[in-house]
Amino acid sequence: MAEFRGRGAVFSAGPAEDSDDRVGGGATIIQRKTRTKSKTDKPPLYKVILLNDDYTTMEFVVEILQFVFHKPHAEAVRIMLHVHQNGMGVAGVYPYEIAETRVRTVEELALQAEYPLKCVMEKE
């Protein structure tokens, strides 16, 4: 065992392979590497909801569902009828930025066609 004496302190080390683990009076230093796992949360989703009104034609709503939300004709008709009968209906569920863009697109197209169709988004 090797010893070093200096300024009143005695440092000793055992065999060469342990020399990095010992400091003063036989105290052992253990260094552990900790790994932090960063788990990325999925972004919150938002429902894009079409609101019924008495002026927007059913055909226009179907066209909006097909053009903006990429729904097949049969599904677009089903959603349009749900909106017509229940006052509102979900056109799709998207992350915030996409939902916001779809809402804005629907309202711009409705304004251009002079329809009062409203579209809102709501956190799922």
**pLDDT tens digits, residue range 18-73?**
445 555 566 666 667 777 777 888 889 999 999 999 999 999 999 999 999 999 99
Residue 70 burial by Cβ neighbours in a 10 Å radius (0-12, 13-18, 19+): exposed
Predicted pLDDT at 24: 56
State what percent of residues in the chain have pLDDT above 90: 65
User: Is residue 111 within 8 Å of residue 51, measured between CB atoms?
Assistant: no
Predicted pLDDT at 7: 55
d(CA 107, CA 121): 12
More confident residue, 8 or 77: 77
Predicted pLDDT at 68: 97
pLDDT at 12 over 60: no
Give the domains, in start order, of the chain with CATH numbers: 45-123 (3.30.1390.10)
Give residue for tokens 């197209």.
109
Predicted pLDDT at 39: 82
Mean pLDDT for the chain?
85
pTM score, whole prediction: 0.68
Report the phi/psi class of residue 114: left, alpha or beta, with left for phi > 0 and alpha for psi in -120 to 50: left
More confident residue, 3 or 89: 89
Q: What are phi and psi of 18, to 5 degrees?
A: -95, -5
